[in-house]
Amino acid sequence: MQQFVKKLDISFADLYVTGVIACIGAAEVAHLAGLFLGLGMGTVSLIWGGFFALLLLFCILVWWKLGRRDRKLVPCHKGLPIGFLLLIFVQMLYIFCMQQLVTPGDITLETVTTFLQEDGIHRVNPLTGGAYINPLSMRYKILCLPTLYGAVCKLTGLLPEIAVCHIVPLIVLGGCYFSYYKLSGILFGKHLGKRYTFLILVALVLWMLDGATYLEGYGLLQGGYMGTTIRGLILIPYTLQGGLSKQWWKCALCVLAELCVCMTLWGLGFCLLITTGLVILHWCEERKSLKEAAS
């Protein structure tokens, strides 16, 4: 197993991000089971909870097998990681303590509350509590985030507002910075100083981009639980990192995760577009280098 783990060349950041993606995948399986088999939220939560426990054990095992490795990173001034951690701490405080805005078009909290109240998935309209007049579209029905959050509430006993608006965004914040940390490895190699400066600037830029609902800063600070935020802050940077380093399995995972958290055109989402773009980019680069070698 140690050989397999070393061959994949993964780090703790990879474990965290793929762990988040795996949780989404498990929630999707539980969600579909609940939706099509009519299972209650209790059963759905247990399915997801069981998987989460196995995943946690697996991650601990992999991390133990990885052991301490000398990645030969260029060391940096201690102030940089401390400054970065301080910025993250302030963001975590903000997310945990501040009242969340109501985002137009977002009905996640209503849906989670309804799932828990009705003990089932998509049984009534979350906006009125009454029956649906028209059938739901399949590409909305398959989105699993409300089920995931409902399972978290059921297993932990937390109120939906606390779990969805304050706890989940903290997990997304962690995933965001781990994804950007991996991306910084592509951009700056083993230079830790540049990588931490990059992360500090990412944290600052996210504070500045809070002007509109589609900006990344708004997603992190006000809507960390939304599918578009998970896509923009975790999946897309991770897809870029995977595609630029030709670790296509990461891109594949992100494409599948996006299908579960955002509405897409028959599963064709942004991660797939980015992966396609990077494949074309690599192909063009290889052709160019072949031509240069031939000449």
Site string for another protein, 66-85 (x = CB under 8 A): --------------------
In angstroms, give the least distance from the CB of 206 to another protein. Answer: 6
Query: Taking Cα atoms as reference points, which of 205, 188, 278, 191 lies closest to residue 239?
Result: 278
How many Å apart are CA 124 and CA 141, to the nearest integer? 12
**Reduced to 3 states, what is the DSSP secondary structure of residue 106?**
coil
Q: Is 86 in the site for another protein (CB under 8 A)?
A: no
In terms of CB distance, is 148 or 233 closer to another protein? 233
Residues between 234 and 293 with contacts to another protein, criterion CB under 8 A: 236-237, 240, 244, 263-265, 268, 270, 273-274, 277-278, 281-282, 285
Q: How far is CA 154 from CA 16, 21, 113, 178, 210, in A?
A: 23, 20, 11, 28, 32
In terms of CB distance, is 231 or 253 closer to another protein? 231
Quickly list DSSP for 67-78: ------PBP--T
In terms of CB distance, is 55 or 213 closer to another protein? 213
In terms of CB distance, is 12 or 214 closer to another protein? 214
In angstroms, give the least distance from the CB of 283 to another protein. Answer: 12
In angstroms, give the least distance from the CB of 130 to another protein. Answer: 6
Query: Taking Cα atoms as reference points, which of 180, 252, 181, 263 lies closest to residue 226?
Result: 263
Query: Taking Cα atoms as reference points, which of 40, 37, 260 lies closest to residue 154?
Result: 40
Q: Is 201 in the site for another protein (CB under 8 A)?
A: yes
In terms of CB distance, is 62 or 272 closer to another protein? 272
Q: Is 232 in the site for another protein (CB under 8 A)?
A: yes
Q: Is 225 in the site for another protein (CB under 8 A)?
A: no
Quickly list DSSP for 236-256: HHHHHHHHHTT-HHHHHHHHH
In terms of CB distance, is 25 or 146 closer to another protein? 146
How many Å apart are CA 84 and CA 79, to the nearest integer? 8
The only residue of 1, 68, 137, 293 in contact with another protein, by rule CB under 8 A: 137
Residues between 116 and 135 with contacts to another protein, criterion CB under 8 A: 116-118, 125-130, 132-134
How many Å apart are CA 221 and CA 262, to the nearest integer? 19
In angstroms, give the least distance from the CB of 191 to another protein. Answer: 8
In terms of CB distance, is 14 or 122 closer to another protein? 122
In angstroms, give the least distance from the CB of 58 to another protein. Answer: 30
In angstroms, give the least distance from the CB of 24 to another protein. Answer: 17
How many Å apart are CA 201 and CA 140, to the nearest integer? 35
